[in-house]
Chain A
Amino acid sequence: MVGTAKVRDNSRAAPIPGRQQTMERFREQGGRIAAVLPIHYPRALLRAHRILPVEIWGPAQAFTPLADSRLQSYICPLARNALDFLLREGARRVDMVLVPHTCDSLQGLGSLLLDQAHLDRPTLNFYLPRGAGDASVDYLAAEIRSLSAALSRISGRSPREEELIECVMLEEEADSLLSELLGARPRLPLPDHTFYRVVRSREYLPAEDFISSANGVLAGRTSLGAPERLPILLSGIVPEPMEIFDALAGFGAFAAACDLACASRRLYPGGKSGDPFRRMAESLLGAPPDFTRGSAIRDRVRYLRANADKSGARGVLFYPVKFCEPELFDLPLLRKGLDGAGLASTVIEAPLHPHLSQVLVPRDPGPPPRPGGVTPAGALPER
């Protein structure tokens, strides 16, 4: 039986500083700040250059007049929001912008920032190879070296190998804790909002601060009993707008596991090589399957099923960003694969941009909208 009990925040974690506060503190220590677009990039490299990566995944529901004059309405709202933010004020708050090549939209954004936007901050790009094997590792290690050379021109530093390794090890420790944190989710008596605030602090906190914060949360683990709420797996790019968690809670459900680009798709295993550049490449390429590396859809299905099994999730809620082509391509086959395993699923497009989506507005008055496949609570097939 699944209830709708309210979950109190019993976390022992210290309050998590916000982005602005974190940036100010890092600057006071003599560091620089990089605005970084999603998804994959070598954090350790930036830290070795004394640059703090602060990621841009939103803000959601922003009005974007400056970006609207440069991007057509059918371009990914995440790219649109980021562009508007950078043009308006964001770029002035940072020392550089890094745009990893994640998809066609971010490829275009990276190119547009260089060729058209003329920010008064350097813009760097970073290409993540789509594939596995030695050629990809070789390429990525060289790409990270090349990025390091570009960073040196900004930071004025050329990190020694020991410094690089030290940073790599620290980030690997933080990645390992993130993995532990996400794995422990069903045993953490926190509301989703609070939990994902901690998880997402990995987007901007220095690794050492994230480690401390994650350890604080993990100390509040309880033993695993029968879930008071309906466990579901949340899949998508980013849980924005975060009201999705309120909607889940309203149905007595919670995100027991996730397959989010901003979180669990970045559970990088430690690398093996003694060479820090190669080690970072191995680590990035070892992340769970996702479209940005061209992973086979059947691998994604396998991963989602395993993740659901481990967390006890009884359904999957896909929360894709509007116009996110690569994510949208996979959905029919992912859902078919999950259906074959007795896992219900449904899709709600994330309305990241206020102009775009009316998908959540019901056409006629009636009961409040409910995510179809995971409601009503308790109606999911027993597993």
Chain B
Amino acid sequence: MGPPLKCAAATKRLVTRHYLDGRYVRHYGKTAWVTSGAPVELLKALGFFVLYPENHGALCGARRAAEALCRESEAAGYSSDICSYARTDLGSLLSGRTPVGRLPRPDVLVCCTNICQTVLAWYRVLSDHFNAPLLVVDTPFLYAEAPPHAKAYVLAQIEAMVEPLERIAGRSLNQDRLKRTVKYSRDAAELWNRITEMGRRKPAPLTAFDQFIHMAPIVEMRGDSRTVDFYAAMLRELEERARLGIGAVQRERARLVWDNLPVWHQLRFLSEFFAEKGAAVVAATYTKAWGELAPLLQESQPFEAMADTYLHVLLNRGTGSKLDTIRALVKEFDADGVVFHSDRSCKPYSIGQMGQRDSVVRQDGIPALLLEADHNDPRSWSRSQNINRLEAFMEVVAR
């Protein structure tokens, strides 16, 4: 592998600081638990501390704490067939255990259905557990173009959230602050987009595995000037690496695209496996999703901008749109193959992958692998079987 990114320490500091803030927030403010695709700008503008259970789940997965927490929730009756982020988080709630010390209790829950319907099921459980109000932003799934009534519906819901959120926050929404927050979100998303596009360089100065690690701020700290500063610094580092020809993988010989969530518990194994083969995973649909909608976030009309942006996220679009995205990544990043992570825990992301894989292989002539795993639950990872598949795949890619 190439030399590690220097910004890793800053990411760790930022994330640690975020969770540390959460421990003391009850003394000075209110807390909202939100889904990763929620219009967080409104909450930030109202001064909420925002916490993302999905990110907490991912953090538990990356630190290999997820399995024990999943077992806790399963012992309480939650099926092993439900999302492992949810099982991890519910296990953490039920046991009180978390690698971050302590999570602040939510004063409100905000759930946006643009990433899956699972979050709605999950947040209903949280609402019951905490006896906390649940605000839902329901985003009709886009099989094709968004119809005008879908946009109007999302806009109406975001506007209707203002009154209850103001009541909970104990303060009125300041429009200038909201616009500023939207701008910070857009600036961070634009920088993140440029960061992910650095993978086009040869050799790629970062891999998708780096992106998975460094995406935490764009997911859980949008609308914050510190996030903008952090990504500006990260981009400078990557540009410098690109200028010096420093690759994330030494002697890069093959380039791959990753589809779906990371396998958090195998991040190190997978990054090292591909690096040993001289393969750089240069792009991922998952990380791209956090930057591609930056142009829609225009602060001049913040409510319309939020409605438009959060309605159009990758996971709220059809299987055809995702295939287009994969093909565009293959082309733009000059990739030699695609790894489809067939994620047992993320059904909406995974449905359609078998057809997408066929299209990539048969129509485009690009090797593609369906890798069976689960983003957080290591019990769904079959090491020897997957190594065999990965080895065989890399032989095809290297031809």
Is B355 located at the chain interface by the 8 A CB criterion?
yes
B153 A139 Cβ-Cβ under 8 A: yes
Q: In the complex, A297→B77 CA distance in Å? A: 15
Interface residues of A (CB under 8 A from B): 69-72, 74-76, 101, 103-105, 107-112, 114-116, 125, 127, 129-131, 133, 135-136, 138-139, 142-143, 146, 291, 294, 296-298, 322-323, 325-326, 328-333, 335
Q: How far is the CA of A74 from the CA of B83 in the complex (A)?
A: 12
Cβ-defined contact, A296 with B354, below 8 A: no
Alpha-carbon distance between A75 and B81 when the two chains are bound, in angstroms? 10
Instruction: Enumerate chain A residues within 8 angstroms of B285, measured Cβ to Cβ.
Output: none
Asked if A105 and B351 sit within 8 Å, CB to CB, the answer is yes
B78 beta carbon closer than 8 Å to chain A: yes
Residues of A within 8 A of B113 (CB): 130
Check if B153 sits within 8 Å of A129, measured CB to CB: yes
In the assembly, what is the distance between CA of A14 and CA of B398, in Å? 69
Contact of B156 among A135, A323, A328 (CB under 8 A): A135
Quick one: which of A116, A135, A325 contacts B157, CB cutoff 8 A? A135
A131 in contact with B125 (CB, 8 Å): no
Whether A294 lies near B124 (C-beta < 8 A) is yes
CB-CB < 8 A to A69: which residues of B? 354
Cα–Cα distance between A76 and B347 once the two chains are bound (Å): 9
A75 touches B147 (CB 8 A): no
Instruction: Let me know if B347 and A143 touch, CB within 8 A.
Output: no
In the complex, the answer to whether A107 meets B354 with C-beta atoms within 8 Å is no
- Cβ A296 vs Cβ B127 within 8 A: yes
A111 to B144, CA, bound (A): 9
> A107 contacts B82, CB within 8 Å?
no
16 contacts between A and B (CB under 8 A): A72-B342, A72-B351, A101-B141, A105-B351, A110-B143, A115-B319, A116-B320, A130-B113, A130-B117, A139-B140, A142-B152, A294-B120, A297-B127, A323-B347, A326-B121, A329-B82
**A330-B124, A333-B128 as given contacts; A74 in contact with B140, CB under 8 Å:** no
- A372 to chain B minimum Cβ distance, whole angstroms, is 13
Return chain B residues, CB-CB under 8 Å to A326.
Answer: 117-118, 120-121
| B342 (CB) vs chain A CBs: closest residue | A72
Q: How long is the Cα–Cα vector from A131 to B140 in the complex, in angstroms?
A: 12
Most buried by A among B121, B127, B160: B121
Q: Do the beta carbons of B136 and A130 come within 8 Å of each other?
A: yes
Q: Most chain-B CB neighbours within 10 Å: which of A101, A294, A296, A335?
A: A294
List CB contacts (< 8 Å) of B109-153 with chain A.
113, 116-118, 120-122, 124-125, 127-128, 134, 136, 138, 140-141, 143-144, 147, 149-150, 152-153
- Given A70-B355, A326-B121, answer yes or no on A127-B82 (Cβ-Cβ < 8 Å): no
Is there a chain A Cβ closer than 8 Å to B47's Cβ?
no
User: Does B344 make an interface contact (CB < 8 A)?
Assistant: yes
| B contact residues around A335 at 8 Å (CB) | 77
Tell me if A328 and B354 are in contact (CB < 8 A). no
- B149 near A131 with CB under 8 A, answer no
Q: Is there an interface contact between B128 and A331, defined as CB atoms closer than 8 Å?
A: no
Given the interface pairs A111-B319, A297-B125, the reply to whether A74 lies near B149 with Cβ below 8 Å is no
Q: Are A296 and B140 in contact (CB under 8 A)?
A: no
The verdict on B10 contacting chain A, using a C-beta distance below 8 Å, is: no
* A101-B141, A108-B319 known; A329-B347 Cβ under 8 A: no
> Contacts A125-B143, A328-B79: A114 and B153 contacting too (C-beta < 8 A)?
no
Q: Is B38 part of the binding interface, using a Cβ–Cβ cutoff of 8 Å?
A: no
- Report Cα–Cα, A138/B154, bound state, in Å: 11
Q: Assess whether B76 is interfacial by the CB under 8 Å rule.
A: yes
Asked whether B352 lies within 8 Å of A115 as measured between CB atoms, the reply is yes
Task: List which B145-194 residues lie within 8 A (CB) of chain A.
Answer: 147, 149-150, 152-153, 156-157, 160
